[in-house]
Amino acid sequence: MESKRERVEDEGLKPESKKKRLDEDSPPFPPPDSIANPLSGLANNYADIDEEEDYERRARVTISGEKNDGSLKNGHGYEEDDSDEDDDSRDQPFGGRNSRQVEVRKDCPYLDTVNRQVLDFDFEKFCSVSLSNLNVYACLVCGKYYQGRGKKSHAYTHSLEAGHHVYINLRTEKVYCLPDGYEINDPSLDDIRLVLNPRFNTREVELLDKNKQWSRALDGSSYLPGMVGLNNIKETDFVNVTIQSLMRVTPLRNFFLIPENYQHCKSVLVHRFGELTRKIWHARNFKGQVSPHEFLQAVMKASKKRFRIGRQSDPVEFMSWLLNTLHADLKTSKKNTSIIYECFQGELEVVKQIPNKGITSKKENSEDQNNIEKLSDGGTERDAFLTETSKMPFLMLGLDLPPPPLFKDVMEKNIIPQVPLFNILKKFDGETVTEVVRPHIARMRYRVTRLPKYTILHMRRFTKNNFFVEKNPTLVNFPVKNLELKDYIPLPTPKENEKLQSKYDLIANVVHDGKPGEGFYRVFVQRKSEEQWYEMQDLHVLEVVPHLVALSETYMQIYEQQEQ
């Protein structure tokens, strides 16, 4: 039989035409630079993506989203090139000549080999051999991830070498038997699908705060849905306490438990946060803890490694960044609103007084003269201030702690001062003056003009200078129930037919233990179904009595507005 190259030479074509003719006759191989791992090409070329999987990949806008140029972004934020897919499916997006009908069977002799004890779907969905995240299957016998299921794929090879025959596609949730290649349709595998991708309906979400039933893990231990521990991967306790605190905010939790609420969003961070929320509140987990590994990977990418595994960070900074980023990703183009603003956004009136040292004469124009306030102690015009009044939205309020005493008591021990929360809340009464030096020297007065449904307070415990970070050990005395803000800060008069809702209950309290830069974070959270408090530090979840919540160095709190 005449080869392609011999046929081209016989036709006497020019070299350029020869190359073009060869390209047309040759099968479309992926370009070499698209293969990140030297082993990934093996599985990519023989991934055997069937018609239905390929159709869903190209037709649906899932977590990865679809760009205008047709390329996809996977759940980890990496761009996927069509060259990584099966050769034929690239030219014929709905299966092409490589598509085939897959046999579906209800009976499989290998179902008894499935080992749920080793299954862990909390980590990134990468093939353990090729390190590719395309068309990845989990072996339900050993728990490892492999790519593809074609005859030259890593999953197929593993099934022959190890004798493991049951595999689940981590995206489509279909289960296959290899090397036979048929699909398994058995209801006994539904619990695995629910652990891989937990689901909630509206009725289940409404009953979450009424559920008092404990769940049982495969190892026999009991856990409360929503009160599961989070793995500290490496100095990620600042993330864990933030997540555990936000899980107590009912509207935020309910929003992320239903993926349809944010299916239009293409942000990987939003979808990873939703997945983590569903895993924390899932009542049929195989184990009593969750690893936020995939969420942390999304955080590192979205924050450009400002927050990353292996480096301790401030939970207040992380909370601020996370809320603002989620809002920016969730808000619609028409309205600057989101579930984040609906829960946490309030408004402040800020009166800013800037020293006007440049005034030397009373002969000033009337416009400038109206902005000048003289000091009440009889100061000269050089000591006058220019006043600016503005409205400013906020997601959290920072409270200043009084400086700790410099002297020791008669027992030669440092005095640990205490301050009531009401005293430091006076910062927002509209009269107390706060001196600031950055970005320039000014006197500030703050007044709350709109209260949010959930108020986040953080105590400024840490101060930085050119040499070290200093921690203020002052204890803050605060109420766990019935914090009435109108008794301590003036609030705006409500509109007609509206009641002033200014009474709050504590739902989360983050504390810091140890020296600055060396300590660790833990959080006290309330379970609403039984109004019981729990102390959570990474994987440790311990029931505590309410009065212990206020006996620690509180750093950040979330208060919930009472419904009247």
Residue that wins the pLDDT comparison between 5 and 152: 152
How much of the chain, in percent, has pLDDT values that exceed 70? 75
Residue that wins the pLDDT comparison between 373 and 268: 268
Given a cut of 50, is residue 1 above it in pLDDT? no
- Averaged pLDDT, 206-223: 88
Confidence band, pLDDT 50/70/90 cuts, at residue 339: very high
Q: What is the CA radius of gyration of the chain?
A: 30
* Angle at 169 (CA atoms; ends 168, 175), nearest 5 degrees: 40
Q: What is the pLDDT of residue 97?
A: 40
Confidence band, pLDDT 50/70/90 cuts, at residue 493: confident
Given a cut of 90, is residue 73 above it in pLDDT? no
Q: What is the pLDDT of residue 32?
A: 39
Candidates 542, 483, 548; CA nearest to 223 is: 542
Rounded to whole angstroms, the Cα distance separating 345 from 340 reads 7
Rounded to whole angstroms, the Cα distance separating 130 from 523 reads 40
Q: What is the pLDDT of residue 488?
A: 83
**Within a 13 Å sphere around the CA of 184, how many CA atoms are in the beta-carbon half?**
25
Residue that wins the pLDDT comparison between 226 and 334: 226
Confidence band, pLDDT 50/70/90 cuts, at residue 230: very high
pLDDT tens per residue across span 296-317: 999 999 999 999 898 889 999 9
Rounded to whole angstroms, the Cα distance separating 39 from 131 reads 8
- Averaged pLDDT, 143-162: 92
Confidence band, pLDDT 50/70/90 cuts, at residue 408: low
Ordered by where they begin, the domains of the chain are: 104-194 (3.30.40.10), 200-330 (3.90.70.10)
Q: What is the pLDDT of residue 94?
A: 37
Residue that wins the pLDDT comparison between 370 and 500: 500
- Averaged pLDDT, 47-58: 44
Residue that wins the pLDDT comparison between 185 and 406: 185
Rounded to whole angstroms, the Cα distance separating 16 from 478 reads 81
Confidence band, pLDDT 50/70/90 cuts, at residue 189: very high
Given a cut of 70, is residue 371 above it in pLDDT? no
Lowest mean pLDDT among 35-49, 150-164, 324-338: 35-49
Compute CA 375 distance to the chain's CA centroid, rounded to the nearest angstrom.
48
What is the DSSP-derived secondary structure letter of residue 262?
A: G
- Averaged pLDDT, 104-130: 91
Q: In the chain, what's the furthest Cα-to-Cα distance?
A: 108
Q: What is the pLDDT of residue 49?
A: 46
Contacts (Cβ under 8 Å, ≥6 apart) of 309 = 233, 234, 235, 236, 296, 300
Q: What is the pLDDT of residue 67?
A: 41
Rounded to whole angstroms, the Cα distance separating 162 from 130 reads 18
Confidence band, pLDDT 50/70/90 cuts, at residue 276: very high
Residue that wins the pLDDT comparison between 77 and 338: 338
- Tell me whether residue 465 is exposed, middle or buried, using C-beta atoms within 10 angstroms of its C-beta: 0 to 12, 13 to 18, 19 or more: exposed
- Averaged pLDDT, 138-160: 93
Name the 3-class secondary structure at 181: coil
Candidates 95, 84, 94, 69; CA nearest to 29 is: 84
Confidence band, pLDDT 50/70/90 cuts, at residue 495: confident
Confidence band, pLDDT 50/70/90 cuts, at residue 375: very low
Given a cut of 70, is residue 24 above it in pLDDT? no
Q: What is the pLDDT of residue 159?
A: 94
Given a cut of 80, is residue 66 above it in pLDDT? no
- Averaged pLDDT, 288-294: 91
Dihedral Cα 381, 382, 388, 394, nearest 10 deg: -130
User: Would you state the structure tokens that stand for residue 236, as one six-digit string?
Assistant: 């990620």
Lowest mean pLDDT among 19-28, 185-194, 443-452: 19-28
Given a cut of 90, is residue 9 above it in pLDDT? no
Mean pLDDT of the chain: 79
189: amino acid identity, one letter: L
| Helix (H), strand (E) at residue 564 | none
Q: What is the pLDDT of residue 213?
A: 87
Residue that wins the pLDDT comparison between 382 and 285: 285
528: amino acid identity, one letter: K
- Averaged pLDDT, 480-500: 82
Residue that wins the pLDDT comparison between 526 and 496: 526
pLDDT tens per residue across span 416-430: 788 999 999 999 988
**Pairing state between β 454-459 and 397-399:** parallel
